[in-house]
Amino acid sequence: MVREGLLQLLTDEVNLLCGASYRPQEGGLYRRAGTEPVRIRTSEGTEFIDKRRVRKMGQDGREQEVLLDSYAEIKRRKGMFEEVMESICHGASGSGVGKMLGVSASQVCEGWKARSRELLAEFRGRDLSKLDVLAMMVDGVFLGKERCVVVALAIDAEGHKHLLDFEEGSSESAEVVMALFAKLKARGLDAGVVRRLMVTRDGSDAIAKAVRHFWPDAVQQECLVHVERGLCAKLSYKHQAEAVIKMNRLRAVEGAEAGEEAFEELLKFVRGKNLAAAESLDARKDGILAFHRLNVPATLNVTFLSTNNIENVMRNARQVVGRVSKWNDKTDQVARWMGVALLRAQEGFRRVRGHKELGALATALERAGSADLSLHSAVAEMEKVA
């Protein structure tokens, strides 16, 4: 977008001196002299653009090169790419950026549309079959009352995070989530992976249903932060602090046995304070203890017992898309802005905490997955014999 703006800025000055390319000024002092590659500074370093050249007839009868004022301004300013991209993503108007570049607001907006479509195509054109996905997190962000975008984040076997794709809908329904998963499958997600998938999610039944549809044997872990919020909402204020202490113990313990003990202690406390809260907690026991039952090191708890990794992505994305006051559902506006927002959020990714212990998680999932596959094969053979 900035490149197109700079080229238009140079073109406007050349047209002012020489007239339009298809209608040059007759008898004028200036004429077009082609282009030449010049360096400008970008967010990735330096880059070449084709600068327009102008020559004029001097008093001695010889032609001289004309130094364009717009080019001198471009060379004088440093970091123009960074300034403009930051301005757009932080809510600057098209007219404001246009004044910065010296071009019209419509040219800025058209350039932004073209560039954001390129980034969206790049984001959705990646081959996912090469990712050794170990775990996935799914969450939705609302852009207004009836506009929801569901996003999927993957963690590979080395601890690197990858934003996979997103799906638009009116809510975080099972149909929207399944449409997202169908696109991921079509792009090769978990192709050739024999282990089960680890999925950390909030308490959404829609996400749980969609996960079961595509990965029936996936390990679904409920986010304990969401569990704690829901629990405290049902308890009186004077009991909330003790509930948080017991939830913290559950988050810290390692393995199935310690997890069961911490959960029973929490359940006993809640049952003595609020029966409805205790029944709700007991009904979600399998989802709350799913990760503990894998018997992996507790250093991985901070990563897989909450959806904080994808929540951070959503918070960063809101800083970009939250600046848009009105969405046009008749265009690809939502997809373009979300694509740019997620790519910007991905720039700050680091490996997850406890990544050195991910081998233990991969082994636990492979053992469970191999057992399930063996059982499935044995049942199939028995049915065939019968």
In the predicted model, what is the mean pLDDT of residues 81-98?
Answer: 61
* pLDDT confidence tier of residue 43, bands split at 50, 70 and 90: low
Q: So what's the pLDDT on residue 104?
A: 62
Q: Is 261 helix (H, G, I), strand (E, B) or coil?
A: helix
Between 189 and 371, where is the model more confident? 189
| Residue 194 within a domain | yes
| Mean pLDDT score of the chain | 82
Same domain, 237 and 295: yes
Q: So what's the pLDDT on residue 108?
A: 63
Q: So what's the pLDDT on residue 275?
A: 92
> What is the residue range of 32's domain?
2-123
Residue 368 pLDDT more than 50?
no
Q: Which pair of structure tokens corresponds to residue 323?
A: 């600046």
Do 301 and 252 contact (CB within 8 A), yes or no? yes
| Residue 385 within a domain | no
Residue 89 pLDDT more than 50?
yes
Nearest-5° Cα angle at 287, 269 to 145 = 100
| Residue 295 within a domain | yes
Same domain, 194 and 50: no
Number of domains the chain is built from: 2
Same domain, 66 and 147: no
What do you get for the CA distance between the two ends of the chain, in Å? 66
Residue 99 pLDDT more than 70?
no
* pLDDT confidence tier of residue 73, bands split at 50, 70 and 90: low
Buried (b) or exposed (e) across 252-291, using 16+ Cβ within 10 A?
ebeeeebbeebbeebbebbeebbeebbebbeeeeebbbbb
Same domain, 117 and 139: no
Phi, psi for 254 (deg, rounded to 5):
-120, 135
Q: What does the pLDDT look like over 373-382, one tens digit per residue?
A: 444 444 444 4
Do 224 and 305 contact (CB within 8 A), yes or no? yes
Same domain, 245 and 332: yes
Between 44 and 172, where is the model more confident? 172
Q: So what's the pLDDT on residue 381?
A: 44
| Residue 218 within a domain | yes
Q: So what's the pLDDT on residue 337?
A: 87
Q: So what's the pLDDT on residue 380?
A: 42
Between 294 and 63, where is the model more confident? 294
Same domain, 111 and 170: no
Q: Percentage of the chain with pLDDT > 70?
A: 80
Q: What does the pLDDT look like over 174-204, one tens digit per residue?
A: 999 999 999 999 998 876 678 899 999 988 8
In the predicted model, what is the mean pLDDT of residues 88-108?
Answer: 63
Same domain, 175 and 118: no
Domain end position, chosen among 80, 102, 123? 123
| Residue 379 within a domain | no
* pLDDT confidence tier of residue 150, bands split at 50, 70 and 90: very high
Q: What does the pLDDT look like over 109-146, one tens digit per residue?
A: 776 777 788 888 888 888 898 889 999 999 888 887 77
| Residue 212 within a domain | yes
Between 286 and 50, where is the model more confident? 286
List, in sequence order, every beta strand (DSSP E) within the chain: 19-20, 23-24, 30-42, 45-57, 63-65, 133-142, 148-156, 161-169, 198-201, 219-222
Same domain, 118 and 256: no
Nearest Cα to 89, choosing from 311, 324, 282? 324
Q: What does the pLDDT look like over 311-332, one tens digit per residue?
A: 999 888 888 887 787 888 888 8
**Residue tagged 């990544």 (tokens):** 355
**Residue tagged 């872990």 (tokens):** 221
Same domain, 8 and 64: yes
Between 106 and 270, where is the model more confident? 270
Same domain, 186 and 103: no
Nearest-5° Cα angle at 290, 284 to 293 = 130
Q: So what's the pLDDT on residue 375?
A: 44
Residue 340 pLDDT more than 80?
yes
Whole-model pTM: value is: 0.70
| Residue 375 within a domain | no
Same domain, 152 and 106: no
Q: So what's the pLDDT on residue 170?
A: 86
Q: What does the pLDDT look like over 196-219, one tens digit per residue?
A: 999 999 888 899 999 999 999 999
Quote the CA–CA distance of 316 and 310 in Å, as a whole number. Answer: 10
Domain end position, chosen among 61, 92, 123? 123
Residue 79 pLDDT more than 60?
no
Q: What does the pLDDT look like over 4-19, one tens digit per residue?
A: 667 777 788 888 888 8
Q: Which pair of structure tokens corresponds to residue 309?
A: 């990794």
| Residue 378 within a domain | no
Same domain, 252 and 319: yes
Nearest Cα to 347, choosing from 313, 308, 303? 313
